[in-house]
Chain A
């Protein structure tokens, strides 16, 4: 066993500001198919981090490790100070209540209204009705859909659907918001709106980790950029752009 090449990693002292920590993480889906290799990443509370890299570079796999949808083949993942390897299976739902997720395909339920879609996220974690009827309109107001509570997803534009999805991910005020290519299906103008929303959420000291290969967005935001290539971290820049010469 042992950590694959963990000697290469250098970490700051552990503090309570540390939100996500990957130590020498590797992930093999099958023998010979390595999605991540010796990944060391530290993300502190309130950071906004882009994970960039071509398709198949391991971005999505890294996000799945944070929600414990996948377990690393080697190394350790800590989220909010907890080692996920030691997190019992029945605690995983409670981890996920602290990690909001947004996807390229929105994952909204077509037979539920905007309000019901967001309410569903609270309902199934056992939140009482009073809390739901108070928080859902509030968050929908925040994402700019205060007027469209009773619309169905197919009556909304792509950008609006993604706002509903963000509202659902954020309504429970998680510590971390993970976004996997949230602008992948959206035109550039709409994407800018989504990025403003994510930036606003980040300013409530929510840690935002966004996987993307949208150059324009990364370059305009000037936030921390971690670049993956073939499952390895090849660049980690505090105020980066998408890539040199790309």
Chain B
């Protein structure tokens, strides 16, 4: 009977305040959508860099006058390092052949090249991309070695851009969520104002403060929860419909846009949790100065 009363009052409040409730609900939805977008962006970048990191290797270019002894010592040193997975010797001839096959369609690029124009090198595969810089500096300047190159710069820059983007969007979505909480608080306050006579009588006849509060708090929670459901629906829908199509249309992106069900569910659950939190905070804001007598 009490639960029915609370639910009926909550529905009444929402109906009376429909416009404010819609504003609050959509603000929650937008802020959570933004938050969800940030998470997805992070997941995409994670997927991309995962693939790249696996392919990162160090190229140690050898001097043309390097002795075979120097090369053997270097190979032995590298083989001892725990971070090194594999060392492959690429001769001047092999280098030229690889170059030719890379630019097969454009003979002008390799026509004048002869064996010896491209240096021989050691190709070093690592157990983890994290050690790239460390290993590269360690072998730099070794006898017989001319130059050390690695592709880590691009990965690092991508991760930096990603984290900057995430910080900006995160701050933005936090601001939006504060706005959402304030809107929810305002919705509730309007409801309280519209029903001040009833509340006055409730206090007069001895209704407890919680009895008076609960319908209003439920109102805030329902508004926030509805917003969270909208955001989750859009994200899940995009995942089901849009992302798989992107993968089909642009095969190179298919691994970037494929997310495990587990990480998707965790993320959507977190969005709902944050939405409920926003609703609670908004309600608490509205109740703080309310019902003191």
Contacts and interface: CB of A to CB of B under 8 A. Distances in A.
Contact residue range for chain A? 20 to 34
Interface string A131-164: 0000000000000000000000000000000000
Contacts of B207: 93, 124-125
Given A69-B293, A123-B5, A128-B1, A107 B200 contact: yes
Contacts of A92: 293
A95 B211 CA distance: 16
A101 interface: yes
A172 interface: yes
Contacts of A215: none
Interface string B196-231: 011011111111110110000000000000000000
A109 B201 contact: yes
A101 B206 contact: no
A16 B198 CA distance: 35
Contacts of B288: none
Contacts of B5: 123
A97 interface: yes
Interface of A: 67, 69, 90, 92-98, 101, 107, 109, 120-121, 123-126, 128-129, 168-169, 172
Given A67-B204, A107-B201, A109-B197, 17 more contacts: A69-B293, A90-B208, A90-B209, A93-B203, A94-B206, A96-B206, A97-B206, A107-B197, A107-B200, A109-B198, A120-B198, A123-B5, A124-B201, A124-B207, A124-B211, A124-B212, A125-B206
Closest 4 pairs between A and B when the two form their complex, measured CB to CB: A96-B206, A97-B206, A124-B207, A93-B206
25 contacts: A67-B204, A69-B293, A90-B208, A93-B203, A93-B207, A94-B206, A96-B203, A96-B205, A97-B205, A98-B206, A101-B204, A107-B197, A107-B200, A107-B201, A107-B204, A109-B198, A109-B201, A123-B5, A124-B205, A124-B212, A125-B205, A126-B2, A129-B1, A168-B205, A172-B205
Interface of B: 1-2, 5, 197-198, 200-209, 211-212, 293
